[in-house]
Every structure is written in C-alpha cells, then in structure tokens.
Chains A and B, each alone.
Chain A
Amino acid sequence: MTKKLLLAATAALAFAVPAAAQTVAITNAKLVVGDGGQPVDGGTVVIRDGKVVAAGPGVAVPAGVRVIDAGGKWVSPGIFAGFTRMGIVEVDGVDETNDSGASGTAFHAAIDVAPAVNPKSSPIAINRAEGITRAVVAPDNRGSIFAGQGAIIDLGADMDAVSKPRAFQFMEWGENGARAAGGSRAAAYATLKNALFEVRDYIRAPASYTDRGKDAFLTRADAEALVPVVQGHMPLLIHVERASDILVLLQLKKEMPALRMVFVGATEGWTVAPQIAAVGVPVIATALADLPESFEQLAASQSNVGRMTAAGVLVAVGTINQDEARQARWEKQYAGNLVALNRVPGATGLDWGAAFAAISSKPAEALGLGGEFGSLKPGRRGDVVIWDGDPLEIGTSVVSVFIDGVEQPLETRWTRLRQRYLDPKDGALPKAYQH
C-alpha cells in the first residue's frame, strides 16, 4: 500500500505541467504533423495547457492568445529520440559522471534510471537546441541480461526531466545477453525462462518470496520489477541483432502473448521482416548500420529500416551503440539519409513523411505512448519546433522549441565557447574574462 502511494505521488510529480505553459498559436507554418504524412503549407498549431489542441491547415486561432507567425517556416513535433542514455551520462570516460550501468550491484531488473537523470547534464541542452524534445533513456546491462527500467524524459530547461519513470524494462539478447548469462545464447535463454518462472512464483505469493541475496538469479526487488513485464503492463525492450535470435524471441512471444516486446537494434531484421510483422512486435532500429560489425550483424544493410517498414513492421529510429549518451541529434541526419536511399537503385529507404515519423511518432508508438507523445495530433504533449528549413536537411537550424507548451532557451556550452573563441587571440584581458 505504501509503495502504491509512493508510486502515485511520483507519477503525479512527473506528469505535472510546468506553470509557464502558455496558450500559443503558431500560424502560417509548413506543417509536419509527424504521423507519416507529408508537410502541408499554411498550417496552424494551437497549444493550450501544455498540450496540442489542434494542428492543420484550416485550424482557427483562438482569440486573445499569443500568435507566432512562422512565416512559411517548417513547424513539426519535437524529435522523440528512440533510444538513448541521455541525462544519465555527462562524460563516458569519467566514471563519476556515468550512471548508465553498475557492475558492483546485486540489482538488475530492479534498477530504475529515473533517480539518476540530471536535467542539467550538457547533452540535454545541446540536444534541446537542436529540436530534440523527448528521449527514451535506457540503462546499460552489467552482469545480467536485464539492464533495468528505463524512463521517458523531456529535454526542458527545468529540474523536472522525467516524463514517465519505469516506462519499460530493457534486456540484452544475442551476443551481449549471452555474455551476461555466462557465455552462451543457450544459457541466456535458460536464464530468461527461469526469470519468468520466478516472477510467476513471486506473483503467486509475494510475501513468501525470500530475498536470496547476491547469489540469487533474481533478487526480490528484481522479481517485483518484472511483474508488470510478465503481466504485460510494461514494455520489454530487447536489444537483439541476429535474425535467428529475433525468431527465438518471436516464438517466445507466441508462448507468452502478454509480453509486450519491442526489439531494439534489429540489424538483421529485414531478413525476417514478415515474421516480425506477423507477430506485431515494434522495432527501434539503428538507421544506417551497414557493416558486419559483429557476427550477429552479418546481414547489415542501410535498407533495413525501409525494408522492415515496407513489410508492415512498426519501425522507429534510435541511436543504439551510436553515442547514445549525447548524439540523439544525429537522428535527423539519419532520417534524411533514409530518404536519400530512395535514389539508389536496389535500395529501400523511406519517403520524407515516413522518415520524419520514424524519429517522432513511431518511437512513441513503439512504446505504447503514441497517444501522448510524438505528433501534433490533438491531445499530445505540446512539443513543437519551428525550423528555418527542412528539419532533416544538414544546416537547418532551430528557430524555437516548445516543450509541454513552454518556450525553451537555446543557449548551451557550445554557444558560449563559440562566442568566446570566434577570435582565438587574447584581448586586453585573458579569455577567462570574456563572458
């Protein structure tokens, strides 16, 4: 009971809309809804109380509200970064600032990244200034196939970053999972099945599930954390690359339909795309992985996202193994590259609307949160970006960013350093006096 109250309180805090949310109408926009459609000219977006009220070409502007004339510029939902470690790492190489994973703990599935998120970490500001407004933040696994519970964060310039704590459980499969389970995929499979059985035991009689300490397959806290996964209340994001590994998981999903699997990575996904589509497992893919970087990625192809999408798989883009801590901003470039593939004979890319959706609504939908995030459909969070050009094109800059309806500052360490060193030579005083 106490726990439930605590949870409720945390949730209420996390979902609180900042007081500064305004009613804003952005008019005269080249409007991108983010649902896969193409941009339309002359669009209007209305945000009220932190949420999208309406967006489209024929939307009326409410009386007495702040109106921003976009002057024909591109207006879109903010980028929803599909897979990151943003906010839990400042400098990877400096252990004290890196909370992505813990090797000295007894806990695994029970780990919850939310308390580690630092809204003031510099990647949050840098990515915010580039139009990233939300991010999936996952822990990194250490010593178990289960990495722990990830969060959805917003990139707003306030101290309230966690939009949704414990939004999913993250698990490693394939080579990483095998390593964590002791050295083989077979052992990982046994570990997973055993964990699921133990969770069922826990569900039957939580009070008699004793904590068996560090030597246990699952601590009591881990078992408890996996309950919503087994019951289907919490998505299970699984990093998996190889086609055969994907098929093993699809079979498991058939045996345990309650599991809300989401594949992450899925480099060889295109080779089994019809099977993924048939079972209906969403994928958060690496956009441009085309190297056989490991033996589980031999079939790597830049056409992976396009081919899976064409086969009917719900595909989003994330930065998996690509500087997850700070470069979610690259997703725009990746999406643009997916469009470029359409001009290469034999390759399969995405059209512009689908490419943008892959970094806005699709990640939210993959997590079951499409009703709340990722597009400018009515009722979604008021995450809106005004751009000075095509947001997927290199060189396009952000004009304004709104998160939960609150206009955001765009200054960062980058802009401060740039300003100081535009002229590298010393002036009348050392550079340290130039601020």
Chain B
Amino acid sequence: MIRTLIILGALAGLAACDAGGGRAQSASSDPAPASSGPGKGKGYSHDPFPSTYHAYPGVPTLLTNVTVFDGEGGRIDKGQVLFRDGKIVAVGQSLDAGGATVIDGKGKYVTPGVIDIHSHLGDYPSPGVQANSDGNEMTGPVTADVWAEHSVWPQDPGFGRALANGGVTTLEILPGSANLMGGRSVVVKNVYARTMQGMKFPGAPYGLKMACGENPKRVYGSKGRMPSTRMGNIAVDRATWARAVEYKRRWDRYEEKGGEPPSRDLAMDTLRGVLEGEILVQNHCYRADEMAIVLDMAKEFGYHVSAFHHAVEAYKIADLLKANNTCAAVWADWYGFKMEAYDAVPENLAILDKEGACAMIHSDDANGIQRLNQEVAKARASGIKAGIPISEEHAWTWLAINPAKALGIADKTGSLKPGKMADVVLWNGNPFSVYTRPEMVWVDGALMYDAKDPKRRPVSDFELGQPGEGDVK
C-alpha cells in the first residue's frame, strides 16, 4: 500500500510539473515552478510495474527438535524456530509456542529458504520451444532498456520444481548473456501468480545484467558488427557508460533546477539507476583477467559491481574481489563447456571464502536450481579435501545471506532472524546429504509445499490435463 502511494505520488508529481510549467509562462503570481524540477529521483517513475505480491495465509508455527542453520553462519542443535504473521519471531532452544502449531522435527534440519541469484526461469521456461524463448534480446549489444520481467511467464513448471525439490523461495531472473548490457533483472518470490507482478519481490532493487567475454563477441562478431573481440566489448561498454554519465548529469540538473526535461531514453534510465546505486550490477564474467578490467571500468565511471556471475576463475583473484567488495556467484563444478570455463576448479567457493571474499552458489539452470543444497555440499567437500575447513552452518551462507546481500534484500530475507520474512525450509535430514529432500517449505510464513500433502504442491496451468500432470516427485 505504501509503495503504491509512492508510485502514485511520483506520477502525480510529473503531471503537476507539466501543468505548473504551463502556468508559469502565463502567470506571474507564482514564479517558483518555472525553475524548480520535480525533485530528486522524481523526474519519471522508477517503478511502473509495481509488485502486487502478497503473502498467503499461514498459521503461527513452531518447529522444534531441529538442527538450525540460520543462514548467517549460526547453528543451533536441538533448536526451535518460531514464525507468525509471515515473519520470523524467534530462533532458539526453548521458545514459548504461544498457541502456535508445533511441528516436531526430530532428526530434521531447518534453514532459510534457498535464494538463487541467477535463474532464467520464466524467460526460458519449459517447454523450451522457440515460441517460449524470451531470454535474450539479441538485436544489439546494448539493450539496457529491456526488462526481464516483461518476458517472465509465471506458469513455467520450473518454479514448482525449484520449490518442491530445491526449497527455493527467492530467485533473480536475468536476461541472457548475449549482450554486454542485457537489460534489467527482476527478483521474485517463488510463489505462483497469475501475473509477473504477482511474483515480484516487494522492494527488491533491480539488477543490470552485464556480460563479459565470449558470448557478446560471438553473437555480434558473427553478425559482422562490434563487438567481435574482448577489446571491442570494453570499448562499447565504456562508450555507453560515458553516455550514461552525461544522461545522468542532464536529468540530475533537471530534477534539481527544473527547466526543459531531457529526452527519455529507457536504456539510459537503467544505467543512470546503476550510477545512482539504485540498480545493482550483476555481471556475467568468467575469467579473472576480465573481472579485473571490469572492476577498473566500474571505478572509471563511478559504479559498483554487486556480483560477478559464473565467476569460474574468481578463485584466482579472491583478494581483488574482497578489496573491491564485489561478490562472486559460482557453480560447484561446471567446467570446460567453453574456453572461458576451462580453468574451473571445484574449490572455487572454498578459496573465495578462505580469502574473505563474498561468495555464493548459483544455478543458471532449471535442473540445477532443484539441488543447490547439494551443489553447496559438493563445494564444501572439495574445500575440506583441499585443507580448507568450512562448517556446514557457514557453507549455508552461500545460498542464503550472501545472495541476499548481493541482491540488496538481506534486510528482508536470507536468514532466520527475527523480523525477516518467514521463508523457511524443513529438510527431512541433513541438507548436505544426497539422501535428503525438502519436507516442507514456507514462503512468508505460508506453507507452500508439503511432501506429505499432494494438495500443497503447485501444478502450473501448463501442466493441467497433460501426461504426468503435476508429477514433480
């Protein structure tokens, strides 16, 4: 509600400005509007497709007798987790149920919901036919004007699988990596809705998907246009950032001092948002040397890279990433499918972590998103084998608080802290074991999956009446 008011306010401000400008020329009684802009950040709507997501009803719930990984590195054995009205109330060992439904989780584990910072669900949904392929606007190397949310098909059967098999409660959907600046990402709660807006994570910042390396140079080089090389990639990036800096300067001046509003450029709106720190850069980049160049480019134009995704060689520059406060989102053990993935090692996450860099797992895959707990288990095991001790509760930060931080939503979700969204998974055993599955998953305190209850299992519209309807087992 508050959000809606803010949006309406911004739009009203725009309208008032135009009207005021008109009046100013014909009336001398109020000269102020002629020279005053609409106010900082109010030159145009920054949220024209607002979230309509709402939490579903839940009951106050106390999980007892469980091992808790709180998502920030904490662990409680024989622990309890209490949530009510969609929020975590308390985590401890002897809580007052206060009339809450008590679930005895003896031998089971509780964690915050899994967060996947890199997904294309909805944009590249199942079935993966051309008619559904909406993830890459491959018509120009810079398409910062496209928004992934405008491609999201909320009926993608993949959302339900990620919830039921993976305990995923939040995910970022990104445009693909064909372009240097592929457009805006969107963060969604993993709850089916009739509309994209119905899934949108309230208050989550947008991301800008950027890409280094092989993909942009291949896609555009094969079309006989720039960029066709890595140096071409950076040249186009820099030229675009230079324009963005100028665009920002014009709009800032207008919003502060008024006058004639500059022309709108939807791509530049996004880049201005990045320069303002309002939109977070999520940068597909594999090679260590390229990441270092991007970090320098970010300094040159005054923006920050929130996270490098697919950062296969991040382990080679863990110290540099830490120094720049830039995270690395990586796979556990994908390797070798293209040249820039050739130097992958399964110890990537562990080495990043050892050096104190912000690190996390990601899927980029409709199957992988269903087993991110196992991917973290693999990465941890590889680290331990290499002599890097990593506790289970610490490793869980790789799919909880760390992706939440890189998405700018760590104040709302990503750990089991009082006041945060009650995004919770009850696992039927240790989630670092291959033999463990999610048993119950809550999103904002609402039970959205229950292995024992076929009615608590989503079936997308597409699957209705089809062979194997809803058989996500």
Interface positions of A (Cβ within 8 A of B): 90-94, 122-123, 126, 243, 268, 271, 288-295, 297-303, 322-323, 325-327, 333, 336-337, 339-341, 343-348, 392-395, 397, 414, 417-418, 421-422, 424-425, 431
Contact A421/B473 with A298-B468, A340-B434 known, Cβ cut-off 8 Å: no
> A294: which of B127, B371, B432 is its contact (CB, 8 Å)?
B127
Interface positions of B (Cβ within 8 A of A): 126-129, 157-158, 161, 165, 214, 315-319, 333-339, 342-347, 351, 355, 366-367, 370-371, 374, 377-378, 380-381, 384-388, 428-429, 432-437, 451-452, 454, 462-463, 466-468, 471-473
Q: B471 near A345 (CB under 8 angstroms)?
A: no
- A residues near B336, Cβ cutoff 8 Å: 90-92, 122-123, 325-326
- A residues near B337, Cβ cutoff 8 Å: 91-93, 323, 325-326
Residue among A94, A301, A341, A417 with the most chain B CB within 10 A? A417
Q: A344 near B214 (CB under 8 angstroms)?
A: no
> A421: which of B165, B315, B339 is its contact (CB, 8 Å)?
B315
Q: A394 near B467 (CB under 8 angstroms)?
A: no
Cα–Cα, bound, A290→B158 (Å): 9
Cα–Cα, bound, A397→B436 (Å): 19
Contact A333/B214 with A295-B127, A424-B317 known, Cβ cut-off 8 Å: no
Contact A394/B432 with A93-B338, A292-B466 known, Cβ cut-off 8 Å: yes
Q: How far is the CB of A334 from chain B (nearest CB, A)?
A: 9
Q: A301 near B319 (CB under 8 angstroms)?
A: no
> A292: which of B157, B338, B432 is its contact (CB, 8 Å)?
B157
Query: 18 interchain pairs (CB within 8 A)?
Result: A94-B338, A288-B367, A290-B165, A291-B126, A292-B126, A292-B127, A295-B129, A298-B463, A299-B466, A301-B472, A302-B165, A327-B333, A333-B378, A397-B385, A414-B345, A418-B351, A421-B316, A422-B347
> A424: which of B158, B316, B338 is its contact (CB, 8 Å)?
B316
Q: A94 near B434 (CB under 8 angstroms)?
A: no
Contact A345/B452 with A268-B467, A292-B126, A336-B435 known, Cβ cut-off 8 Å: yes
Q: How far is the CB of B114 from chain A (nearest CB, A)?
A: 16
Q: How far is the CB of B333 from chain A (nearest CB, A)?
A: 8
Nearest-neighbor residue (CB-CB) of B460 within chain A: A292
Contact A346/B386 with A394-B378, A421-B345 known, Cβ cut-off 8 Å: no
Q: A422 near B339 (CB under 8 angstroms)?
A: no
What 8 A-B pairs are tightest by C-beta distance, nearest first? A299-B468, A336-B434, A395-B381, A93-B338, A347-B473, A299-B467, A394-B377, A301-B471
Q: B468 near A268 (CB under 8 angstroms)?
A: yes
Q: A341 near B473 (CB under 8 angstroms)?
A: yes
- B residues near A91, Cβ cutoff 8 Å: 336-339, 342
Q: How far is the CB of A308 from chain B (nearest CB, A)?
A: 14
Q: B471 near A340 (CB under 8 angstroms)?
A: no
Nearest-neighbor residue (CB-CB) of A337 within chain B: B434
Q: B435 near A340 (CB under 8 angstroms)?
A: yes
Q: How far is the CB of B163 from chain A (nearest CB, A)?
A: 13
Q: B467 near A424 (CB under 8 angstroms)?
A: no
Q: B467 near A303 (CB under 8 angstroms)?
A: no
Cα–Cα, bound, A289→B337 (Å): 21
> B437: which of A297, A343, A424 is its contact (CB, 8 Å)?
A343
- A residues near B378, Cβ cutoff 8 Å: 333, 394-395
Q: B435 near A343 (CB under 8 angstroms)?
A: yes
Q: How far is the CB of B455 from chain A (nearest CB, A)?
A: 12
Nearest-neighbor residue (CB-CB) of B340 within chain A: A93
Contact A291/B158 with A395-B381, A417-B345 known, Cβ cut-off 8 Å: yes
Nearest-neighbor residue (CB-CB) of B473 within chain A: A347
Nearest-neighbor residue (CB-CB) of B388 within chain A: A422
- B residues near A297, Cβ cutoff 8 Å: 127
Q: B380 near A395 (CB under 8 angstroms)?
A: yes
Cα–Cα, bound, A417→B344 (Å): 8
Q: B434 near A425 (CB under 8 angstroms)?
A: no
Q: How far is the CB of B157 from chain A (nearest CB, A)?
A: 6
Nearest-neighbor residue (CB-CB) of A323 within chain B: B337
- B residues near A397, Cβ cutoff 8 Å: 381, 385
Nearest-neighbor residue (CB-CB) of A335 within chain B: B434
Q: A418 near B347 (CB under 8 angstroms)?
A: yes
Contact A418/B386 with A293-B127, A299-B468, A424-B315 known, Cβ cut-off 8 Å: yes
Q: How far is the CB of A357 from chain B (nearest CB, A)?
A: 17
Q: B338 near A92 (CB under 8 angstroms)?
A: yes
- B residues near A302, Cβ cutoff 8 Å: 165, 472-473
Q: How far is the CB of B15 from chain A (nearest CB, A)?
A: 46
Cα–Cα, bound, A310→B375 (Å): 29
Cα–Cα, bound, A422→B161 (Å): 36
- A residues near B351, Cβ cutoff 8 Å: 418, 421-422, 424
- B residues near A322, Cβ cutoff 8 Å: 367
Contact A294/B128 with A91-B342, A340-B435 known, Cβ cut-off 8 Å: yes
